[in-house]
Structure 1
Amino acid sequence: MKKITFPLILLVLTACGENKEVQPAEEATAVAVAENVTDSIQVDAITSATSKPNQVSFNGTMVIPPQRMATVSLTMGGVIKSTSLLPGEPVRQGSVLATLENPDFITLQQTYLDSHAQTEFLEAEYLRQQALSAEQAASQKKLQQSKADYLSMKSRVEAAAAQLKLLEVEPELLLKEGIQPFLQIKAPISGYVADVKMNVGKYMNVGDALCEIVDKSRTLLRLTTYEKDLADMKVGNPVQFRVNGMGKTVFKATLISIGQKVDEDTRSVEVYARVDTADNQFRPGMYVTARIMKEQASAEQ
């Protein structure tokens, strides 16, 4: 009986030892699974909102809305007499960008001043003929002729004044200061000078672009998304983005427009977001990577 007892005891002890070795392995597996689950949940450092690990990022560029970008072009050709512009230089609306030399500009001013003077004379003559006609001291023919001359000269003055205003010359100022030898090219908006294409002595034709002015106060993001992502997008959704070359800094924007046409080749859709976090380093054309937050993420913030 003693010979049988010892092997049974050894067998039981061996089995217990094997169970003790398996238990730590199962615990390690459970810990690893828990760690994987924890790693799969990403927490936004800015908003503390959680997101799925496969959340889509969208690529795009910074752009300027059309009303914030101006191309300075000419409505009258001529030779650039002077300019001091440099690319990147800030300018204010109405400031002089360059001066233009053209004999036709002097002729236009002379036409306006002569017509204005003639109009005053013809108006006085027309009023005199009206008074004489009322007293039956003048013929109707002279009255009609006087009226026609006055109205004709008046329309000529108005046409010359309209042309001067197209050139950003105020007719009233011309009456006070007289003929100006050079046409001043003024900035239509405030912003930064870009793409300067003029220099002193260069002849510029009508419609030629002298430069561009960019107002960065209303920068937008133009992002490329896809039709499968449209269901999760709504105007007003917050957007978080990073700019190429500016490290890991996260900036904020707001979705303001979703394209209504899908590209047939790439199945992509363009969406636009208004940049809410301004930075002097922003430039049109910079590449960005953005994440459009869903409504659930917005509620958690």
Structure 2
Amino acid sequence: MFNKYKYIISLLTLTVIINGCNQQPAEEEHHHEEEAHGEEEIALSKEQIQQAGIHLGPFDYQPLGQYITTNGTIELPPNNLASITPIMNGFVESIRFLEGAEVKKGQALVSLKNPDYITLQQEYIQAINNFNVLEKELERQRTLAKAEVGAQKKLQQTEADFNNAKAQKSALSERLKYLGISPAKVAQGNIQNMIYLTAPFDGTVTSVNAHNGQYVKAGEPIMELINREHMHLELQLFQKDIHKVKEGQKIIFKVPAFENNKQYEGEVSLVGKNMNPQTKTIRVHGHFHEEFDLIAGLYVEANILQDTSKVRVLPEEAVIQNEGQYYFFTENEKGNGTSTFIKNAFTPGTTSHNFTEIKAFSNEADTTKIVKSGSFYLKSEMNKGEGGHHH
């Protein structure tokens, strides 16, 4: 009887041991699953989000197809550049606009003073009076010549004097017009002691080279203007790519001098026909929408697109690459001022101009709350959590 009870106890003990062994891996597996899931997300407060510079947004859509890489500069046609210079020496009375100001055609930019302006107007009035006197004398001499009273030689001399007076009057009138002074008003006795240099077109002041009271000589630049309406790209295209470029193709370009890596768009408007024998390139003329932060002479790097179809992309600062895996973060608000950021693995496509194509990803992600900047901060914080097994 004793052996029978001993046998039953042994069986019970063995069953407990077996069940314990079977349960332990299951508990450990469940624990690891929770830990693995936890390592895919991180919680941050609003203050942490602000400090990290995290910004959210949806996918971008960009053409990232085949393209031709080229470079060049931003240029302006010669007619869109102007130097504001006086045609007579003078003292600067006032400069009405500073660098960067927008001006309208005909607007007074600079006023100058000089006694010579008054002298010129005085000479014009004298020329008018002299012309009037000689005009009457010529009529008198012609009347006398018809009556055979006056000498023919006197008539000829009067005609010569009259023609000289007429030429002088016309020349002084044109000089006044060049200065911006109305000959008609001067003829009425209205003499002005200042002249005004005006804008030849609507534009932007790019430089001011003088100051009040300064004596400037004729032809000396006081101010520079540009008209940005016809600002364009001048790109250098290598001969191997000539057959690939046509009018109307889209251009995406950036200015390396700008730290924000902003992209601008334009299109090919003219493909040159003459090749530079030294560089083996031709010029490609491109137009783009007016952008007031662009300046003539800036160096640009450009892609001429062969395929303009747009694909779903994210900027490089939104994309994390780790051991051959690509992912981006999305926000999941939890309330109480806390947000959880979740990793979303995806399959990358073409990368161009600091954008990466998103070919496939988890459809569960809220694509209106993608982390567009600040992803590297989230990665760093997540790595800390993985190292210490906490978040």
TM-score range, shorter chain: 0.7 to 0.9
Query: Are 2:88 and 1:62 aligned?
Result: no
Identity %: 28
Relative to structure 1, the CA distance from residue 139 to residue 226 in structure 2 (aligned partners, 3 Å threshold; closer, same or farther) is same
**Aligned counterparts of 2:277 and 2:61: Cα–Cα separation in 1:** 35
Structure 2 portions without partners, runs of 5+ = 1-59, 310-391
Q: Paired residue for 2:248?
A: 237
Query: Are 2:265 and 1:251 aligned?
Result: yes
Residues 11-160 of structure 1 correspond to what in structure 2 (within 5 A)?
45=61, 51-52=65-66, 55-160=67-172
Q: Paired residue for 1:274?
A: 287
The answer to whether the Cα contact below 8 Å between 2:266 and 2:286 also exists between their aligned partners in 1 is no
Report the Cα offset of residue 293 of structure 1: 4.1
Partner-residue secondary structure (3-state), 1:104? helix
**Aligned counterparts of 1:176 and 1:243: Cα–Cα separation in 2:** 58
Report the Cα offset of residue 68 of structure 1: 1.1
The answer to whether the Cα contact below 8 Å between 2:252 and 2:305 also exists between their aligned partners in 1 is no
**Aligned counterparts of 2:292 and 2:253: Cα–Cα separation in 1:** 15
The answer to whether the Cα contact below 8 Å between 2:104 and 2:201 also exists between their aligned partners in 1 is yes
**Aligned counterparts of 2:186 and 2:267: Cα–Cα separation in 1:** 48
Report the Cα offset of residue 125 of structure 1: 1.5
Q: Which amino acid aligns with 1:237?
A: G
The answer to whether the Cα contact below 8 Å between 1:94 and 1:189 also exists between their aligned partners in 2 is yes
1:216-248 CA distance string (max 9 Å, x none): 1111012122222222234x2323223334655
Q: Paired residue for 2:24?
A: none
**RMSD over aligned Cα atoms:** 2.7
Relative to structure 1, the CA distance from residue 177 to residue 192 in structure 2 (aligned partners, 3 Å threshold; closer, same or farther) is farther
1:267-300 CA distance string (max 9 Å, x none): 344322122x233433324443323345xx589x
Give the structure with higher Rg (CA). 2
1:64-108 CA distance string (max 9 Å, x none): 111111111222122111122200111112211111122222221
Which consecutive aligned stretches of 4+ in structure 1 deviate over 6 angstroms post-superposition?
A: none
**Aligned counterparts of 1:147 and 1:229: Cα–Cα separation in 2:** 71
**Aligned counterparts of 1:170 and 1:257: Cα–Cα separation in 2:** 47
The answer to whether the Cα contact below 8 Å between 2:228 and 2:290 also exists between their aligned partners in 1 is no
Report the Cα offset of residue 160 of structure 1: 1.2
So what's the TM-score if we normalise by structure 2? Answer: 0.57
So what's the TM-score if we normalise by structure 1? Answer: 0.73
Partner-residue secondary structure (3-state), 1:224? strand
Partner-residue secondary structure (3-state), 1:51? coil
Structure 1 portions without partners, runs of 5+ = 1-43
Relative to structure 1, the CA distance from residue 233 to residue 88 in structure 2 (aligned partners, 3 Å threshold; closer, same or farther) is same
Give the strand-richer structure, 1 or 2.
2
**Aligned counterparts of 1:173 and 1:221: Cα–Cα separation in 2:** 46
The answer to whether the Cα contact below 8 Å between 1:239 and 1:273 also exists between their aligned partners in 2 is no
**Aligned counterparts of 1:85 and 1:204: Cα–Cα separation in 2:** 17
The aligned length equals 248
Report the Cα offset of residue 123 of structure 1: 0.7
**Aligned counterparts of 2:179 and 2:119: Cα–Cα separation in 1:** 14
Larger deviation, residues 107-116 vs 251-260: 251-260
The answer to whether the Cα contact below 8 Å between 1:81 and 1:200 also exists between their aligned partners in 2 is yes
Partner-residue secondary structure (3-state), 2:274? coil
